[in-house]
Amino acid sequence: MILYIGRRLLGVIGVLVAIAAVTFTIFYVLPSDPAAAACGKSCSTERLTAIRAHMGLDQPLWRQFADFVTGIFTGRTLGGGQYALHCAFPCLGYSYENSEAVWDLLMDRLPVSASLALGAAVLWLLLGLGAGVTAALRKDTLTDRVLMVGAVAAASLPVYFTSMTLIYGIVRTAGLLPYPQYVPFGDDPVHWASNLLLPWLALAVLYAAMYARQSRGSMIETMAEPYIRTARAKGLPRRTVVVKHGLRAGMTPVLTLFGMDLGGLLAGAVITESLFGLPGIGRLFYGALSTGDQPVVLGVTLLAAAFIVVANLAVDLLYAVVDPRVRY
């Protein structure tokens, strides 16, 4: 088991370095000049050269990449003289736009994206699994049909439409909730929740529908397995069978899905954040992209990849706990 985890962790680092390399190449091979963008409206050639040197853009590509990767592990010093900056571990460089450390920017925005993702995840798990399991246990009844038709329809709803309809109905017309504006949990948990409720709902509708479909299928499959039939035959109450045996095995495929979805969302839901005006990582990324702020773009990409890879690892490890059939 420990050996397995060790091997997987090495793989994670390999994947991250590969992703960093690809991102790096995309941005530095393609024609874009962050130095010119930083230089502004009236920029002389000499000044442009000086700025390029300051940003380290006069170095060859491999050198820039090597500096970047070693910087993550050891930290590095940027600039010189009075303006020298020491960028400590884990150094992802400094934003071209506002000179903040990329790591600090990411950590500053992470609570917003994490609040959004985790809150929505709770909602969609409750709604989705509830609907899915109910439908599976009442297979081929009216309840099942209504739930599943609803799920297909909800999964097909464009998130833009859901979001704007929620805002129109709940904020503009009924005035029940404020226009979403992020309030940190630590400042005021009630306002944190009330401001995030709409974005949670908008995200949860989409995912809950997918989870209802997935969990229904997987539950039906599990309930048809011989060991469940045996348990039923032994005379165990239906409730015990469903909860103790059925759910445990039936949720394994859902767990995979959940790991990937949550991993993807933690690093920012670009569209939802933009629809509701939440300053999360998705917004940070999108803003950085439009201003050519490559260190930030690179930082977000790496963070997002890290979440996905770690989530996958966590899911694989959880398998052993959840599903008695899986062993490493």
Partner 1 sequence: MTTTTTPVPAGVPAGSGPWRLARAELLRRTSVKISLGVVALFLLMAAGAPLLSALCGFTPEEFDKTAVDPYLGGRPIGPLGGVSADHWLGVEPLTGRDLFARVVHGAQVSLLIALTATAIVVVTGTAAGIAAGYFGGRVDAVLSRLMDLTMSFPSLIFMIAMLSVAKDVNRVLLMTAVIGLFGWPGIARVVRGQTLSLKRREYVDAARVSGSGPWRILTRAILPGVAGPVIAYTTLIVPGMIATEAALSYLGVGVRPPTPSWGQMIAESVAFYDTDPMYFVIPSTCLFLTVLAFTLLGDALRDVLDPRSARA
Partner 2 sequence: MNKRTRTALAALAATLALGASGCSGGHRAGGGGRDGTGHPAPAEEGTVVGGTPRKGGTLTVLSNQDFAHLDPARNWVMNAMGFGTRLLYRTLVTYQAAPGVQGNHLVPDLATDLGTPSNGARTWTFHLKQGVKYEDGTPVTAQDVKYNVERSFSPDLPGGADYAARYLAGADGYQGPAQGKHLDSVKTPDDRTIVFELRKPFAEFPNATAMPTFAPVPRARDNGPQYDNRPFSSGPYKIESYARGKKLVLVRNEHWDPATDGVRKAYPDRLVMVMGLRANQIDDRMIADQGADASAVPWYALRPESAVKVLPDPAVRKRLVAESTNCTDMVQMHTGRAPFDNVKVRQAVRYALDRDAVLTTSGGPAFNDLSTAYMPAALFGGTQPDTLKVPAEGDTAKARQLLKEAGKPDGFSTGITVPSGDKGRAEAIQQSLARAGIKVTIEMVDPSAFYATIGDTRNRTDMVYTGWCPDYPSGSTFLPFVFDARYIKEKGNSGNHSLFRDDATMKRMDEIAAMTDTRQAAAAWQRLDGAILAKAPAVPVLVRRYPLVVGGNIAGAYGQTSFGGQLDYATIGLKDPAKGQG
- Which residues of this chain interact with partner 1, rule CB under 8 A? 11, 15, 18-19, 22-23, 26-27, 30-32, 145, 148-149, 152-153, 155-158, 160-161, 164, 167-168, 172, 213, 216-218, 220-221, 264, 267-268, 270-271, 274-275, 285-286, 289-290, 297, 300-301, 304-305, 307-309, 312
**Residue 189 CB, nearest distance to partner 1 (Å)?**
30
Residue 194 CB, shortest distance to partner 2, in Å, is 13
Identify the CA nearest to 124 among candidates 177, 58, 201, 48: 201
Piece of the chain touching partner 2 by CB under 8 A; list 105-113, 136-144, 145-153, 305-313: 105-113
State which of residues 12, 59, 108, 185 lies at the interface with partner 2 (CB under 8 A).
Answer: 108
- C-alpha triplet 8, 11, 12: angle, nearest 5°: 90
User: Which C-beta is closer to partner 2: that of 128 or that of 292?
Assistant: 292
Q: Which of 290, 314, 310, 288 lies closest to 299 in space, CA to CA?
A: 288
Closest alpha carbon to 232 in 127, 132, 137, 92: 137
Residue placing its CB nearer to partner 1 in the complex, 157 or 193: 157
Helix axes 102-137, 142-156, angle to 10 degrees: 150
Identity of the residue, 3 or 174, whose beta carbon is nearer to partner 2 in the bound complex = 174
Rounded CA-CA distance 253/318 in Å is 12
Taking the C-alpha atoms of residue 238 and residue 243, their distance in angstroms, rounded to an integer, is: 9
Residues making up the chain, counted from first to last = 328
- Closer by beta carbon to partner 2, 284 or else 315: 284
Region binding partner 2 by CB under 8 A among candidate stretches 13-21, 92-100, 203-211, 262-270: 92-100
Task: For residue 192, give both structure tokens.
Answer: 């944190």
Nearer to partner 1, 9 or 18 (CB): 18
Helix, strand or coil for residue 157? Answer: coil
Residues numbered 161 to 180 that lie near partner 2 (CB under 8 A) are 167, 172, 175, 179-180
Angle (CA) 263 9 108, round 5°: 45
What's the closest the beta carbon of residue 278 comes to partner 1, in angstroms?
A: 15
Three-state SS at 103: helix
Minimum CB distance to partner 2 smaller for 175 or for 235: 175
d(CA 134, CA 138): 6
Instruction: Point out which span in 78-86, 134-142, 144-152, 236-244 binds partner 2 (CB under 8 A).
Output: 78-86
Q: Which does 44 bind (CB under 5 to 8 A by kind): partner 2, partner 1, none?
A: partner 2
Looking at residues 259 to 278 of the shown chain, list those that interact with partner 2 (rule: CB under 8 A). Answer: 274-278
Q: How far is the CB of 59 from partner 1 (least distance, A)?
A: 20
- From CA 285, how far away is CA 295, in angstroms rounded? 10
- Helix then strand count (H, E) for the chain reads 15, 2
| Amino acid, res. 246 | G
> In terms of CB distance, is 192 or 285 closer to partner 1?
285
